[in-house]
Structure 1
Amino acid sequence: MRVLVVYCHPVETSFHAALHQEVLRNLRAAGHEVDDCDLYAEGFDPVLSREERLGYHEVPSNQLPLKRHVERLQWAEGIVFCFPTWCFGLPAMLKGYFDRLFMPGVAFDLSDPKNVKPMLTNIQRISAVVTYGRPRWVAWYMGDPPRKIVTRYMLRLTGKQARVDYHAHYHMNVATEPQLKRFMQRVGSAMARFA
């Protein structure tokens, strides 16, 4: 399977950086063709400019500023998001990736606004590896936007045909080494059987 890994964390020594490497290692070992999109390392600009917003509905010229990212997304059969949760949401860099890339003509067909059609039907498999600083119940109380973006929004963009899983480690602020090790193993096993 062709898998796009979208990684978003600025610190190369973080636990999430180690998770990212575990994701890549196990996907490749399982024989998948992997495109590793490290948003920070690639210097992705998350800001939707005035010009981009004005041309947002102009298909296909709206895709020109992100042509290479559009191609990578359209190439993929599977996608794995790997990111921390900050302020109970996506990191700004990743939110900007969604704001700029998931546009008309790429993620959905808006030619009939009353009947929006999904366009990411090439994506058959979606997964996420996510960490939270707070416990699960607090994320639930806050509505857990990252979980909904991956398990609901992304699923809709595939025409509800993709299989989705969400691997979350909550309460990182008090996590012990054995807990982190177990989560790392869980992520590795999930990526090893990603299909």
Structure 2
Amino acid sequence: MIDLYADHFNPVYDLEELRLFHDGKTHDPLVTKYLNLLKSADGIIFVTPIWWNELPSMLKGFIDKVMKEGEGLSHTVTKTGIRGELTNLKRAYVFTTSASPTFYLQLCCGNAIKKIFIKVTLKQLGIKSGIWYNLGGISNAPAAKRQAYLKKCGEMTFDFS
């Protein structure tokens, strides 16, 4: 389990991290720890809010800093595109909440979580499939609706085969 906030993860590149970027290196021990955890897992589950129709900067910074380029890291850049190295992660589950209703995110905002995060970003890392569950309208959702979402999430089984 990775809790970016509890770990006090810094999602921002400092000058030294930028200098090490093209070599696929880091000076942040959390980046190394997280990448090793990802390389030894069968799947991944993201739990995050949606802010302004996309992922929050903490999660984007996690992707930016942890997903290092280089043979044996998260991905390799080739002449024909990006080859994901995290093929051990067979599936991703993405659990989100949003102020906007889910249908609005899907139809009016371009469906960024599914079309960009799952089908492009995660696929480029080697994760072949992903499933998205969102509790939309969280700001106005009655307690019963929130509890039903949590119950549904808690009863799920996860298939990482």
Specify the TM-score bucket, using the shorter chain as the normaliser: 0.7 to 0.9
Show the 5 A alignment for 1:38-53.
Answer: 38-53=3-18
Q: Give unpaired runs (5+ residues) of structure 2.
A: none
The whole-number CA distance in structure 2 between the counterparts of 1:119 and 1:145 is 23
- Paired position in structure 2 for 1:55: 20
2:130 pairs, out of 164, 167, 177, with 164
Alpha carbons of structure 1 residues 182 and 151: separation in structure 2 relative to 1, 3 Å? farther
Higher relative contact order (CA 8 A, sep 6+): 1
Report if aligned partners of 2:98, 2:138 keep a CA contact under 8 Å in 1: yes
Aligned partner letter, 1:142 = C
The whole-number CA distance in structure 2 between the counterparts of 1:49 and 1:55 is 10
Following superposition, the deviation at residue 63 of structure 1 comes to 4.1
2:109 pairs, out of 127, 142, 158, with 142
- The SS at the match of 1:79 is strand
Alpha carbons of structure 1 residues 102 and 42: separation in structure 2 relative to 1, 3 Å? same
1:116 maps onto 2:86 in alignment: no
Aligned partner letter, 2:74 = A
Following superposition, the deviation at residue 88 of structure 1 comes to 1.2
- Paired position in structure 1 for 2:158: 194
Question: Percent of aligned positions with the same letter in both sequences?
Answer: 24
The whole-number CA distance in structure 1 between the counterparts of 2:64 and 2:81 is 21
Q: CA offsets, 1:124-150, max 9 Å, x none?
A: 121011000111233231223333313
Following superposition, the deviation at residue 77 of structure 1 comes to 0.9
Q: CA offsets, 1:50-94, max 9 Å, x none?
A: 3322332214xx145321111111111110000111111111111
- Paired position in structure 1 for 2:49: 84
- Paired position in structure 2 for 1:12: none
- The SS at the match of 1:55 is helix
Q: TM-score, normalised by structure 1?
A: 0.71
1:154 maps onto 2:122 in alignment: yes
Q: CA offsets, 1:76-125, max 9 Å, x none?
A: 11100001111111111111101111120222112x34343110111012
Alpha carbons of structure 1 residues 64 and 74: separation in structure 2 relative to 1, 3 Å? farther
1:133 maps onto 2:99 in alignment: yes
Q: Give unpaired runs (5+ residues) of structure 1.
A: 1-35
Q: CA RMSD in A?
A: 1.8
